[in-house]
Structure 1
Amino acid sequence: MRTIKPLILPQILLALLSLFALAACSDKKSPAGAQTGKGIQHELVVIDEGRDTLFYINERNPSKNWLVKTGLPKARDLQLIGGGRLLVGYDNGYAEYNLADGKQLKKYDALSGVTSVRRQPDGNTIVTGVDLRGGKGVSVIVLDATDRIRTTTVYPGNYVRLMRQTAQGTYLMACGNEIREASTDGRYLKTYPVEGFKNMWKAMRLPDNRIIASAGYGAFMAELDADGNVLRKWGAKGQVPDNVNPHFAATFQLLPNGHTVLANWQGHGPDHGKSGVQLLEFDKDGKIVWQWSKADMISSLQGVLVLDGLDTSRLHDERNGVMEPL
């Protein structure tokens, strides 16, 4: 049996250490969210509805993580609005936060019943909710850059959660058990009822006119064709491990690689941290390829915004499916 000379061992060890160092450097230089030697790692912001907190998570550099108490009732919507700022929609309006440290920079609180907020390239802000400012129905208010009301449009209905704009200039609204597509002048153009949707949370359209939606208490993700027919469902009970505990499919985001990241909300109140896996990434086949859940730090995550590779100096939206600058 051949033996290695003692003088050679330090050289071998040095070579191995060099390889490890190179691998570590490769991990640090890989794009956020990429598959690295440490697995998929993300940079993201989440709303913990159960504990009324906003949490910035940087898996590649945890020293940058921050957690702040918001004091915002029913915080639900998130948007990257440029200038290193985050827009958070909540019951009374919206607030803006510094992404670097979580400091609140602005707060608008003149309304009640807001469920979704979207900043526009011209500086206007579109606010969606139910019975806003005395209007009876699903209300869409456009605020100018100084928060003065420019227009108010009211649609039939008594329930809405997130609203997303489409590339066609329409609105996709999450309304109970169906998606409603609306024009900007107060008309519903089309409805997409889906069996199993219950208090559905969000829908968005892709360039080929497919729609992806989260089912709320239906606790699954769905892909529809242009006519509203269900093409596939994923993330439901029986399709994921039992410990995931699908409870409420809330905010999701489509990534450039076709994966979806979903917040699996677990219920109202501060004590749901041990209930289910609350952030999930599914590949194109519906397989879980990444997950995040810290029982001692969270209760019930509802909103998620993945920041991987995004230019935080620019306004972003998802009118074409993936998050991109406007």
Structure 2
Amino acid sequence: MVYGIQFLISAAAVFGVIKISRALSLYDIQDGRRMHKGKIPRLGGLGIFLGFAAGVVICLLSGTGSALRSDSRFWLLLAAAVIVFATGFVDDLKPVPARYKLVIQLAAALLVCAAGFRFDRISFAPLNFSLDFGIFSWPLTVLWIAGLINVINMFDGLDGLAGTTSVIALLVYTVFFYRADFADGFLLCSLLIVPVTAFLLFNLPFPKARIFMGDSGSNFLGFMLAVLPLVRETPVSPAVVPVWYAATVLVFPVCDFIAAVWRRLREHRSIMSPDFSHLHHKLVAMGFSQRQTLLLLVVLQSAVAALVLTSLLSGGTAALTILLAIWLIAILFFTVIHINKNLHFRGSDS
């Protein structure tokens, strides 16, 4: 019942944002690196955020979610989420310099650390491996959060891509929380899946997207995908979603981000400068339609999610082997796409 009501509110919020955006002519910028045609609103992140907030309020009123009612750590986490969303929302209305956005993202990440949600150690249970981070706990956590915010932001370049990527990752997170019997973590994931799913009704390219999530949506989702693996019952409890698994289920956007940073450093450009060489751009340049590109990446990411869960259930060296295989295959895939894209352009020039 809670999720049903939240879904209706979320869908209504996204629909309302579309109407208001059109009335106020709040459309996405059209330039050489954009893949869409026509005037399309870009404030879908507001609908996602309002849907999530509605879910939190419903839970508070219905008495669902003990941590949301009594644990101040979760309220600090949600306050940081509001800061990240608000910064993205302002950026959607009027561009904010990248350095200012980064400073705010780092500040929000520090707030999460202060709340007690951070990487104190990294462990891999199947091999009984554990390493304490000590004094590096805070900087590594801040780097993870700020990094993943920008990972999802850069991957949001194709209708439906960031939304479907987030839902797939969140579904994997819910399995981890369910297996650990951590109801509050499961609830937070579910409360986020619902509004993103409602948003996708208007964002998927079937026949075409009616709204984009904008920086407000991609930043908010990136932040939540980063902090949910940090959520645990007490500050000393082990991580429910180990960072190994969280990073692996997002292997395609993470690899795309690393490739983009390397490409821009090699070309002596700012790592925050936009370009037309992300994975989805290359696939479209090779001849795939935007819908085909989306479907291909959804299938690949779903396969990765299934393999991550298989690794979780396997244990021992098999779990490590599966995770390493995912990364090796992803790197090989990126390499092949890069080479094929270059060969395609050379063939076109000749």
Calculate the TM-score normalised by the size of structure 1.
0.24
Relative contact order (alpha carbons < 8 A, sep ≥ 6): 1 or 2 greater?
A: 2
Q: Counting strand residues as a fraction of each chain, which structure ranks higher?
A: 1
**Structure richer in helix, relative to its length:** 2
